[in-house]
Amino acid sequence: MSFSSDQRSEDGHFKLSESAALVINKGDITKWSVDGSSDAIVNPANERMLGGGGADGAIHRAAGPELREACCKVPEVRPEVRCPIGEARITPGFKLPASHVIHTVGPIYDADSNPEASLRNAYKNSLSVAKENNIQYIAFTAISCGVYGYPYEEAATVALSTVKEFANDFKEVHFVLFSDDIYNVWLNKAKELLEA
Ligand code: AR6
């Protein structure tokens, strides 16, 4: 992978550090993988961790029923809660092309007393769990930007500034974004935060 002298190529590739790249893609996260062994996609799940709508539903459908079985085995920290808001848990990817799924729970924007801190924790703990499991390539969607109603611009600032703190820990960090509007918000925010 190469970078132009201004540290950016034209297609959503940015330099996070001397050794790490940030890649902003448009597409379906269930199709994403790099090597099928040290890669992980991050699932914007809910606290029960047994599937749902949006990206969570798509990830469970693509991974097959073994993913739900693996999630069931994650111990509850209190009734019906396997992964509290802002935390992260890891499972295999089963039928997904990526080897692992990191399940995290973002805040419901209008219901959280500090949505920014909760969203930052969701990114931070996903990246920490990935690091502990020797993941080299990790892909996120726009956590909380669907059903959970987080404004895109604010979410992009939290997502990209948090990823920047882990600049030396991965070979590549990807965002795989479903819609043109979110993709464009992320691209502009990356230009602002990573090319300064
Ligand atoms: N690939 C990439 N992005 C996707 C995909 C996909 N296949 N499908 C949706 N998105 P959401 P949240 C985008 O609602 O807001 C679930 O029911 C979507 O367009 O999936 O964190 C869970 O079980 C949006 O930009 O997650 C929870 O209950 C982004 O992914 C709740 O939704 C996140 O939208 C979590 O809500």
Q: How far is the CA of 45 from the centre of ligand 1 (A)?
A: 8
If you measure from the C-alpha of residue 75 to the centroid of ligand 1, how many angstroms do you get, rounded to a whole number? Answer: 24
* Closest protein CA for atom 18 of ligand 1: 146
112-161 confidence digits (pLDDT tens): 999 999 999 999 999 999 999 999 999 999 999 999 999 999 999 999 99
- DSSP track, the chain: ----TTSB-TTSEEESSSS-EEEEEES-GGG--SSSSSEEEEEE--TT-S--SHHHHHHHHHH-HHHHHHHHTSPPSBTTBSS-TT-EEEEE-TTSSSSEEEEE-PPPTTT-SSHHHHHHHHHHHHHHHHHHTT--EEEE--TTSSTT---HHHHHHHHHHHHHTTTTT-SEEEEEESSHHHHHHHHHHHHHHH--
Say what the pTM is.
0.95
| C-beta neighbour count of 30 within 10 angstroms | 21
Distance (angstroms) between ligand 1 centre and the Cα of 170 equals: 24
The pLDDT-based confidence of 11 (bands split at 50, 70, 90) is confident
Domains and CATH numbers, the chain: 13-194 (3.40.220.10)
CB-ligand 1 contact for 39 (6 Å cutoff): no
Across 86-95, average pLDDT: 98
- Ligand 1: nearest atom to the Cα of 54: 20
Note the pLDDT tens digit of each residue in 60-73: 999 999 999 999 99
> Would you name the residues annotated as active-site residues?
56
Q: Residue 184 contacts by C-beta under 8 Å, 6 or more apart in sequence?
A: none
First to last CA, the chain: 21
**Any ligand 1 atom below 6 A from CB of 104:** no
Give 7's pLDDT tier (boundaries 50, 70, 90).
very low
Whether 54 lines ligand 1, by a CB cut-off of 6 Å, is: yes
Query: How far is the centre of ligand 1, averaged over its atoms, from the C-alpha of 190 (Å)?
Result: 21
Residue 97 CB burial class (10 angstroms; 0-12, 13-18, ≥19) = middle
